Amino acid sequence: MADAGRVIAASPPRGWADPVLRLRVAIVLFVLVAWETIAWSATVWPNFLYRDVIPSWLAIGKGVATLLANPEYYWHLGVTASEIGTGLVIGGLPGIVVGILLGSNRTLAKAYEPYLYYLGPTPKIIFFPIMIMWFGVGPGSKVAMGAISCFFPIALSAAAGMRQIDKVLIRVGKSFRANTWQMATKIYLPAMRLPVVNGVRLGLGVAIIGTLLAETRLSNRGVGFLIQQAYSLFDMPRMYAMLIVLFVLAIGANALVGRIGRFDAIQQR
Amino acid sequence: MSDAAATGSAGDLGRRAMPAVLGLGSFIVFLLVVEILIRVGLINRYIVPLPSQIAGAFERIIVEEDIIGRFQLTFSEALRAGVMITVVGILAGIFLYRFDLWRRATETWIAALASAPTVLMYPLFLVIFGRSAWTIIMMGFVAGLPPVILKTIEGLAGTRRVLINVGRSFNLTPTQQFTKILLPAALPTIFVGIRLGLIFTLINVVGIEYLINFGGLGQLITDLAERYDQPALYATICFVIAVSVCFFIITEWIERWLTPVE
C-alpha cells in the first residue's frame, strides 16, 4: 500500500540507452562520412569544385599531429598568449576601475555609460590602423587591440556588478570608516567577483579575436600569422589543424575562467 | 503657483539633462585638449591628426571617397547576411522546438558555436568563396546565426501555458496554434535574437571588409591607411562608429516597441 502511494522517479537513460547521445554520435558520424566522401570525390574527379579545399580527415589528423609536435608552433603560441594576457591586463584593470566609478555614481553612469554601451559592440578591428601608428607593427599594436577589445565588456560588467552590491555591505564599510582603497578592496571587489569574472570571460573571448585578427592582418609572429601563412601557401590541412587547435584552446580558456567563477560561487555559499 | 510649477519643471529638466551635458561637454573638452596638445607639439601631428582636420575631412570623404556609396555596399552585404540569418535561424529554431530530441542533442553545440571565434575562419572562407562579397556575407551569416536559433527556441519554449490552453480551447489546428499563439508570443524574444545576430553580422562584415581589403567601409579604411591620409582615416572610423551606434539605437528601439508592457 505504501509502495502504491510512492512516486517512483524515472531515472534518465544512460550510455547507449540515451537517445540524445545516440543522435549526437549519428550526427558526428554523418558529418565525418560526408566530409570524407567529398574529400575522396575531389581526388577521383580532378575538376571537382572543392578539390584541395576539403582534405581528408587523415590529412587533417596528420596536420594536427605535425603541428603539436613542432616546437616552433609553441613559440608562436607563446607570443599570442603573452599578447592576449598583456592586453587583458592593460584593458581589464582600467575596465574594472571605470566600472566601479560608473557603478557607484549615478550621474557619472548617466553621463558616460551610454558611450561605453554603444561603443562596446562596434567592430574594434577598424582601430587597427590607428594602433599601428601609435604602437608600431610589432606586438604592441596587437596588445593594444586586445586591450581595447576587452575593456568594454569588463567595464560594463563591473558597473552592473557594482550596482548589484548589497547596500548593507556598503553601509557596514562606511560605518567602519573605511577609506576609498579599503572600500574597493574589502567591500566592492569581493562582492562583485562573479560579474567581474563574467566580464573577464567575455573580455577574454573578444581579446582573443582582436589579437588574432590583428596578427592575421599584419605580423611576422603568433598563431594569427601562422594561419595567414598557411592560407598564402594554400596548405589546407595545416590551416584546418591550426583552426581546430585554436578553437579548442579558446573554448578551453573560456571554460577555465568560467570554472574560476563557479569556484567563487561555491566558496561564497 | 503656475510660475513655481514652471520653475520646478525647468529645474527638473535641467537636472535630467545634466548628465547628458556632462558627457557631451567632457567629450568636447577632450577634443579641445587634444587639439591644443597637438598644436603645441606635445602630441605628434603625423601620428594623431588635429580634431579640426578630422572634422574638415568629413566633407572630403563624402565627396571624393564616395562614402555614401560604400556605406550602401556594406549595408547591402549586412542586409543579405541579415535576411539569411533571420530566415535560416528562425526555421532552424522552429525545427528544434518541434523536435525536442534534436534540440537536446544540438543546443549546447549551437551555444558553443556562438562563443567560438568563428571570425578566424575567414582565410578558409576566402579559399571557398574567393575574394568576393560572398566571403563577407557568409562570414556575417555564420557569426550571426547562433543567437537567432537560440532565441527562437527560447521564445517558443517560453510561451505561457495559459495562451496555449486558450488556443486548444478554441480547437485551433497546429498551424493556427503556431501562427496565432506561439509565433506572436515568441516574437519579442525572437527579435532579441535577430538584433544580437545583426550586431555580430555587422561587426563581421565591416571587419572582414577591412581584413580582405574588399567591399565598402572596411576597404576604405584600408585604402586610407595605405595612403597615409590620417584625417580622412579618423573621419571614416568616426563614420563607421556613428553608423554602428545608429544601427544599435534603431534596433534597440524596435526591440522595446515589440516587448509587451508588463
The answer to whether the Cβ–Cβ distance between B105 and A236 falls below 8 Å is no
Q: Is the pLDDT of residue A48 over 80?
A: no
Return the domain boundaries, chain B: 2-48, 69-258
Best of B43, B45, B110, B120 to disrupt the A interface (most A CBs within 10 Å) is B120
Residues A150 and A125 in one domain: yes
**Position A59 in a domain:** no
**Position A4 in a domain:** no
Q: Which domain holds residue A38?
A: 15-54
**Torsions phi, psi for B216 (to 5 deg):** -100, -105
Q: Is the pLDDT of residue A127 over 50?
A: yes
Q: Which chain A residue lies closest to B252 (C-alpha atoms)? A: A118
Residues A154 and A253 in one domain: yes
Please name the member of B20, B116, B206 whose beta carbon is closest to the beta carbon of A247.
B116
Residues A201 and A124 in one domain: yes
**Position A164 in a domain:** yes
Q: Which of residues 169-208 of B touch A (CB under 8 A)?
A: 199, 202-204, 206-207
Residues A216 and A121 in one domain: yes
Average pLDDT of the segment spanning B186-211? 87
Q: What is the mean pLDDT of chain B?
A: 87
Number of domains in chain A: 2
Complex-level ipTM beyond the 0.85 threshold: no
The answer to whether the Cβ–Cβ distance between B105 and A24 falls below 8 Å is yes
User: For residue B250, what pLDDT is reported?
Assistant: 85
Residue B121's contacts (CB-CB under 8 Å, 6 or more residues apart) are A243, B139, B142
Cα–Cα distance measured from residue A186 to residue B242, given in angstroms and rounded to the nearest whole number = 40
Which range in A94-98, A164-168, B183-187, B192-196 is most confidently predicted, on average pLDDT?
A94-98
Average pLDDT of the segment spanning A80-103? 93
Average pLDDT of the segment spanning A237-250? 88
Residue B224's contacts (CB-CB under 8 Å, 6 or more residues apart) are A129, B65, B232, B233, B236
Q: Does B13 touch chain A (CB under 8 A)?
A: no
Residues A25 and A89 in one domain: no
Q: B119 or B260: whose pLDDT is higher?
A: B119
Please name the member of B20, B122, B245 whose beta carbon is closest to the beta carbon of A118.
B245
Residues A177 and A141 in one domain: yes
The answer to whether the Cβ–Cβ distance between A110 and B233 falls below 8 Å is no
Q: Which of A5-14, B97-106, B168-177 is the least confident region?
A: A5-14
Please give the full DSSP string across A120-138, using - where no structure is assigned: TTS-GGGGHHHHHHHH-SS
Contacts of B126 in chain A (CB under 8 A): 231
| Percent of chain A whose pLDDT exceeds 70 | 90
Q: Is the pLDDT of residue A1 over 50?
A: no
Q: Which chain B residue lies closest to A105 (C-alpha atoms)? A: B19
Q: Does B222 touch chain A (CB under 8 A)?
A: yes
Cα–Cα distance measured from residue A194 to residue A182, given in angstroms and rounded to the nearest whole number = 19
Please name the member of B104, B120, B234 whose beta carbon is closest to the beta carbon of A227.
B120
Contacts of B207 in chain A (CB under 8 A): 123, 125-126, 213
Q: Is the pLDDT of residue A2 over 50?
A: no
Residues A40 and A153 in one domain: no
The answer to whether the Cβ–Cβ distance between A110 and B124 falls below 8 Å is no
User: For residue B10, what pLDDT is reported?
Assistant: 66
User: For residue A117, what pLDDT is reported?
Assistant: 85
CA quadruple B153, A118, A126, B244: dihedral, nearest 10: 70
Q: What is the CATH number of domain B69-258?
A: 1.10.3720.10
The answer to whether the Cβ–Cβ distance between B117 and A212 falls below 8 Å is yes
Residues A25 and A108 in one domain: no
Q: Is the pLDDT of residue B215 over 90?
A: no
Q: Does A243 touch chain B (CB under 8 A)?
A: yes
Contacts of B115 in chain A (CB under 8 A): 205, 251, 254
Q: Does B117 touch chain A (CB under 8 A)?
A: yes
Q: Which of residues 32-71 of B touch A (CB under 8 A)?
A: 47-48
Q: Does A45 touch chain B (CB under 8 A)?
A: no
- Do residues A55 and A186 touch, judged by C-beta distance below 8 A? no
Please name the member of A20, A109, A239 whose beta carbon is closest to the beta carbon of B105.
A20
User: For residue A51, what pLDDT is reported?
Assistant: 66
Chain A nearest-CA distance from B79, in A, is 17
Q: Which of A90-94, A181-185, B82-86 is the least confident region?
A: A181-185
Q: What is the mean pLDDT of chain A?
A: 85
| Percent of chain A whose pLDDT exceeds 90 | 30
Average pLDDT of the segment spanning B237-259? 83
**Position A1 in a domain:** no
Q: Is the pLDDT of residue B92 over 90?
A: yes
pLDDT grade for B178, boundaries at 50, 70 and 90 = confident
Q: Is the pLDDT of residue B33 over 90?
A: yes
Residue that is written with C-alpha cell 591550426 in the block: A242
Stated length of chain B: 262
pLDDT grade for B40, boundaries at 50, 70 and 90 = very high
**Position A75 in a domain:** yes
Average pLDDT of the segment spanning A60-85? 92
The interaxial angle of helices B133-157 and B100-115, nearest 10 deg, is 130
User: For residue B171, what pLDDT is reported?
Assistant: 87
Cα–Cα distance measured from residue A200 to residue A95, given in angstroms and rounded to the nearest whole number = 10
Q: Is the pLDDT of residue A7 over 60?
A: no
Which one of A26, A54, A82 terminates a domain? A54
pLDDT grade for A11, boundaries at 50, 70 and 90 = low
Q: Is the pLDDT of residue A235 over 80?
A: yes
The answer to whether the Cβ–Cβ distance between A216 and B122 falls below 8 Å is yes
Q: Is the pLDDT of residue B169 over 60?
A: yes
pLDDT grade for B213, boundaries at 50, 70 and 90 = confident
A4-39 exposure pattern, b = at least 16 Cβ within 10 A, e = fewer: eeeeeeeeeeeeeeeebeebbeeeeeeeeeeeeebb
